[in-house]
Amino acid sequence: MTSLATSAPWRVLDGFGRAVQVASRSVKPRDVDELRAVFAHAARDGLPLTFRGSGRSYGDASIGEGGVVVDLTGLDRINAWDPVTGIVDAQPGVTIEGLWRRILGDGWWPRVVPGTMRPTLAGCVSMNVHGKNNFRVGAFGDQLESIDLLSPDGELRTLSRTENTELFRAAVGGLGLLGVITRIRMRTKKVDSGLMRVRARSGRSLDEMFDLFEQHLPDADYLVGWLDCFASGDDLGRGQLHVAHYLHGDEDRDPSRSLDVDKQDLPSSMFGLPKKHLWRVMRPFLRDPFVQLVNWAKFQKARIDDGDTYLQSHVAFAFLLDYVPDWRLAYGPGGFIQYQVFVPDEGARSSLRDVLRICQEEDFTSYLGVMKRHRADDYLLTHALDGWSLAMDFPIRDTSQTRWRERVARVTERLSERVIAAGGRFYFAKDAVLRPIDVQRAFGARKLAEFAAIRRRLDPNHQLTSALAQRVFGG
Amino acid sequence: MQIKKAIVVGASSGIGASIARQLLAEGADVAIVGRRQAQLDEVAAGKMRTYAHDVEHAAEIAPLWERIVADLGGIDTIVYAAGVMPSFEEHEYDFAKDQQMLAVNVLGAMAWLGLAAARFEAQKSGNLVGISSIAGERGRRGNPGYCTSKAALSTYLEALRNRCSRYGVNVVTIKPGFVDTAMLGGQKLPLMISPERAADESIALVKRGTSASGFVPGIWAIIALVVRMLPSFIFRRLNF
């Protein structure tokens, strides 16, 4: 490899929401030796490094300007899979999809998956992603046996709950700022069937949605709520809850069929249309009046379906975001931002009610509202807490940078203020707007100082950064 | 449309120098790039940022691009005006001259404009301008390498236009006819215009904001049309 500064290829890279894009050098190493060479060459050229997996973080976590973005999807081998213990040993660029396709036939499923199967395992560790079962099994980090972390100080360390514990707690959810994950060993979950029993419920208000969640919390394996963010007045926060349970024992009469990987695939067409073109059909309709109508219709359907129970494959239940390929393009050239707020259980009803109201007051209503229950964990920059989250999608209409930024900033500052007042937190994988002051108040100066100290130790010359780190930590 | 922060590559003389002066006069912060510092200083007259660089040194381009963009505090326009046209005598075939033309007229353009295209695509705006030539319309016997280089540049710019205009980038191809610059060595040729006029018309084309490809002056569009339509068995008998 010659100089990265002069010869590395350039790419335009975006966050998944497409509201943030930058042009930067991009390299794709194929093994750990090439990764080490990238570290060495970047250090010699004085170029900062940013790590990127599948680019599924919605905001600016996997992009960086003025340096080199290191694409880790080239390191995509499963080193070892043990169908007896359910422990997988994988390279960082293996995706959730690559993992489930390998293990499902043996009767295993990833313990924690986000709403899409595209992210890499290292990306999931670095953002400490959660699933619809966060309240039950914790976040992605909780299933890890260990990770290997190669840091700019030249050390390759194994981190786990028993080895380098402090670094483990910092690197899980460490935003890729402490080093590059070169190897992941994690537990998976034994399943007796490739299907789950799903029950649909509907709530006519936010209070009813909370009540339904609480009713099903003691025994559900997965819980996820959809909210109609356009509904106001007495209907504010109305929506639908999906409650899912694993099938056990002989509840599935033909598990060999349901565990067949090919039987898990998502349908290739929807409404008779080939799915790959569906986003084009959706695009003209992603406007407030249409989306309001769709939300209304979806709620009416939810009322009719209330109480229905059906069987659904793991893939169909887990990966809703993969139903429509390239759906993010339907938002048009401005893209969208996703913004997820976490509030403690105590006072959650009032906090989320205010969040929905603020959006409506500002005429900046989320096109999609997703509600989840969470539990606390001990990772240094964790977003999880014993409480609730609401994820929202805001379309960005105006592509001229300053105007939309002003509007988004005004609304999200109000929302963040309310969330921080409630003792809440935010999720960096779904952030493009937080300011340093918001982050300091939400996460606490002590934790941020602790993280900064670990960064200085592992990355003494400040080689690792990202647009996210520049925005919220100043570097 | 107001041009606020511009880089002109190949601005030490000719059309590039005139474009740089005019952009400055219109209030832009202008960075000029050329081989000879003394000539850059003369063009800049203390009012532009100057960067001595030979576009044949491709390894310098990405770091220099980043430095200039940082110095300007952003960028909305790049003009690639660097070009060479060594003369060829009848019966002469000189690969060294051909290679230099491709290096300066084509590869240098691809190196600079490719970086600009990436940035402009990401920022969803920007004017990306290449000074090509009427010479790229047909392969003339007088200077095969030059015609080849300008045809390549015109095609590259067309492809960039097709690639980037959907992201809000204004990709403009300027195809001058005869312009009274050092490149033509003081010859007096029909329809010849001054570099200042070529600059005026080029900037007007850029400001149209329509990702245009245009001849300067416009009369060359008609000539080009005729020249393109001439059958080969006639064209090969012509001496221009």
Contacts of A6 in chain B (CB under 8 A): 58-63
Count CB atoms within 10 A of the CB of residue A103: 22
Q: ω before B217 within 30° of 0 (cis)?
A: yes
**H-only helix segments in A79-220:** 96-103, 121-127, 134-137, 165-171, 206-216
Query: How confident is the model at residue A272, as a pLDDT?
Result: 73
Cα dihedral A11, A17, A20, A26, rounded to 10, equals: -20
Of B59, B114, B122, Cβ closest to residue A6 = B59
Phi, psi for A129 (deg, rounded to 5): -65, 165
Segment holding A371, helix H or strand E: strand A369-374
d(CA A89, CA B159): 45
Count CB atoms within 10 A of the CB of residue A128: 28
Read off the pLDDT of each residue in B25-39 and give the average, rounded to a whole number.
97
Contacts of A21 in chain B (CB under 8 A): 121-124
Q: Which residues of B touch A (CB under 8 A)?
A: 58-63, 66, 114-115, 118-119, 121-125, 167-168
Of B51, B80, B146, B156, the active-site residue reads B146
Per-residue pLDDT tens listing for chain A (475 residues)? 578 999 899 999 999 999 899 999 999 999 999 999 999 999 999 999 999 999 999 999 999 999 999 999 999 999 999 999 999 999 999 999 999 999 999 999 999 999 999 999 999 999 999 999 999 999 999 999 999 999 999 999 999 999 999 999 999 999 999 999 999 999 999 999 999 999 999 999 999 999 999 999 999 999 999 999 999 999 999 999 999 999 998 899 999 999 999 888 777 777 777 788 889 989 899 999 999 999 999 999 999 999 999 999 999 999 999 988 899 999 988 899 999 999 999 999 999 999 999 999 999 999 999 999 999 999 999 999 999 999 999 998 865 556 777 888 899 999 999 999 999 999 999 999 999 999 999 999 999 999 999 999 999 999 999 999 999 999 8
Contacts of B65 in chain A (CB under 8 A): none
Q: Integer distance in angstroms from the first to the last C-alpha of chain B?
A: 38
Phi, psi for A427 (deg, rounded to 5): -125, 115
Residue A450 tokens, joined = 């602790």
Q: Is A402 on the interface with B (CB under 8 A)?
A: no
Cβ of B62 and A25 within 8 Å? yes
Query: How confident is the model at residue B183, as a pLDDT?
Result: 82
Query: Residues near A450 by Cβ (< 8 Å), separated by ≥ 6?
Result: A170, A380
**Comparing C-alpha atoms, which of A111, A98, A99 is closest to residue A137?**
A111
Q: Is A1 on the interface with B (CB under 8 A)?
A: no
Taking the CA of residue B59 and the nearest CA in chain A, the distance in Å comes to 5
Contacts of B167 in chain A (CB under 8 A): 333
Can you spell out the DSSP letters for B2-44?
---EEEEES-SSHHHHHHHHHHHHTT-EEEEEES-HHHHHHHH
Q: What is the pTM of this model?
A: 0.92
Q: Is A6 on the interface with B (CB under 8 A)?
A: yes
Separation of CA B133 from chain center: 8
d(CA B178, CA B15): 11
Token pair 């009848």: residue: B90
Phi, psi for A413 (deg, rounded to 5): -65, -40
Best probe of the A interface among B64, B119, B165, by most A CBs < 10 A, is B119
Cβ of B121 and A21 within 8 Å? yes
**H-only helix segments in A193-341:** 206-216, 255-258, 278-282, 288-305, 314-318
> What letter does residue A266 receive in the DSSP assignment?
P
Separation of CA A152 from chain center: 26
Cβ of B60 and A6 within 8 Å? yes
- B73-107 pLDDT, tens digit each: 999 999 999 999 999 999 999 999 999 999 999 99
Phi, psi for A84 (deg, rounded to 5): -90, -50
Count CB atoms within 10 A of the CB of residue A149: 25
| Structural Rg of chain B based on CA atoms | 17
Residue A1 tokens, joined = 């490899």
β-sheet bridge partners, residue B50 = B32
Cβ of B63 and A25 within 8 Å? no
Across B114-165, the runs of DSSP E, i.e. the strands, are 127-131
Contact assessment for residue A353 and residue A206, using Cβ atoms and an 8 Å cutoff: yes
Cβ of B62 and A66 within 8 Å? no
Length of chain B: 240
C-alpha pair distances (Å), B86 with each of A81, B8, B97, B159? 65, 22, 7, 27
Token pair 């509904």: residue: A231
- C-alpha dihedral sign at B80, B86, B89, B94: negative
Query: Which amino acid does the sequence have at A270?
Result: M
Cβ of A6 and B122 within 8 Å? no
Q: Is A401 on the interface with B (CB under 8 A)?
A: yes
Q: Is B167 a catalytic residue?
A: no
Best probe of the A interface among B66, B71, B112, B165, by most A CBs < 10 A, is B66
Count CB atoms within 10 A of the CB of residue B182: 9
Cβ of B60 and A401 within 8 Å? no
Q: Is A46 on the interface with B (CB under 8 A)?
A: no
Query: How confident is the model at residue B182, as a pLDDT?
Result: 84
ipTM above 0.85, yes or no: yes
Residue B229 tokens, joined = 């339509």
Q: Which residues 360-399 of chain A have a CB within 8 Å of chain B?
A: 399
| Structural Rg of chain A based on CA atoms | 22
C-alpha pair distances (Å), A14 with each of A61, A131, A412, A432, A473? 10, 24, 21, 12, 20
Residue A420 tokens, joined = 């921080």
Contact assessment for residue A383 and residue A367, using Cβ atoms and an 8 Å cutoff: no
Cβ of B124 and A10 within 8 Å? no
